[in-house]
């Protein structure tokens, strides 16, 4: 996609951020540096095919970085419920991309398959904007959808714990409940965190590996 397409996508994102701020959760998509940092842990050993899901694909900023880590024979499912973003994704990402299968799913992420079918899940969902009960269901759906040994990589913005304490009443209770649910998710899985200071605002990348009874299907953590 050329510069003109990139500008058009940014305008679509901005328009939806203004119209549906709770759904979008940001005023701009992931920067190139942040997208590459999120995709960096995706690496394989051997020739296994990877099944990957991206949650909240937006206009595809993170998608492009993920595709750089995949190979022919892999599959990528893009979950996005915003109709304007879905139109952008369908225009920019054909179903077959050099032997890599791409499926665009305009459905809620709670519909993730519960059979442990994904090797990797990456996410930019604005979970802090969700009702607490929904956030907990989304975390549970993600765990059920990951293979043993599979990876979850997601990002959020720094200082969210501090911002939670700046609110009062029900909003504060909701924020803190979601933060506790995220910490519980981290405790149940192998976890590490990385800072991306060159994003506006600075972002944190959370990398989780679901416990495996046996060796994962050729998936390893990588900082490259």
CATH of the domain at 49: 3.40.50.150
Q: Which residues, including other chains, have CB under 8 Å from residue 144's CB and lie 6 or more apart?
A: 112, 114, 115, 116
Residue among 130, 153, 203 nearest 38 (CA): 153
Q: What is the share, in percent, of the chain residues with pLDDT greater than 70? A: 79
**32 is a domain residue:** yes
Q: How many CA atoms lie within 13 A of 75 on its CB side?
A: 7
Which of the four pLDDT bands, split at 50, 70 and 90, describes residue 141? very high
Instruction: Output 93-97 pairs: Cβ under 8 A, ≥24 positions apart.
Output: 93/60, 93/63, 97/67
Tell me the pLDDT tens digit for each residue of 127-138. Answer: 988 999 999 999
**215 is a domain residue:** no
- pLDDT higher than 90, residue 213: no
CA gyration radius for the chain?
Answer: 17
**223 is a domain residue:** no
Tell me the pLDDT tens digit for each residue of 100-116. Answer: 999 999 999 999 999 99
Residue in the block written with tokens 């995949």: 70
Least confident of 11-15, 49-53, 57-61, 103-107: 11-15
**138 is a domain residue:** yes
Tell me the pLDDT tens digit for each residue of 19-34. Answer: 544 444 454 557 888 9
Q: Write down the pLDDT at residue 208.
A: 97
**224 is a domain residue:** no
Range of the domain at 14: 3-209
pTM of the shown model: 0.82
In total, how many domains does the chain have?
1
Residue in the block written with tokens 């933060």: 179
Least confident of 84-93, 159-168, 169-178, 179-188: 159-168
**214 is a domain residue:** no
Q: Write down the pLDDT at residue 27.
A: 44
- Which is higher by pLDDT, 148 or 157? 148
- The CA distance from 171 to 5, in Å, is 38
**222 is a domain residue:** no
Least confident of 34-43, 114-123, 190-199: 190-199
Average pLDDT over residues 156-173: 78
**19 is a domain residue:** yes
């Amino acid at each position: 996609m050329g510069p003109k397409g990139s500008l058009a996508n940014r305008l679509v994102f901005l328009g939806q951020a203004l119209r549906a701020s709770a759904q979008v959760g940001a005023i701009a998509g992931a920067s190139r540096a942040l997208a590459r940092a999120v995709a960096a842990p995706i690496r394989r050993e051997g020739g296994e095919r990877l099944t990957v899901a991206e949650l909240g694909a937006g206009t595809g900023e993170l998608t492009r970085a993920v595709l750089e880590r995949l190979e022919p024979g892999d599959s990528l499912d893009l979950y996005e419920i915003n109709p304007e973003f879905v139109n952008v994704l369908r225009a920019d990402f054909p179903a077959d991309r050099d032997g890599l299968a791409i499926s665009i799913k305009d459905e809620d992420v709670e519909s993730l398959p519960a059979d442990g079918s994904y090797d990797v899940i990456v996410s930019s969902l604005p979970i802090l904007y969700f009702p607490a009960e929904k956030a907990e269901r989304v975390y549970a759906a993600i765990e059920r959808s990951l293979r043993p040994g599979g990876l979850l990589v997601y990002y959020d913005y720094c200082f969210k714990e501090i911002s939670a304490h700046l609110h009062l009443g029900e909003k504060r209770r909701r924020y803190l409940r979601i933060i506790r649910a995220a910490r519980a998710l981290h405790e149940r899985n192998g976890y590490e965190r990385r800072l991306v200071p060159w994003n506006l605002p600075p972002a944190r990348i959370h990398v989780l590996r679901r416990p495996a009874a046996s060796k994962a299907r050729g998936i390893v953590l990588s900082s490259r």
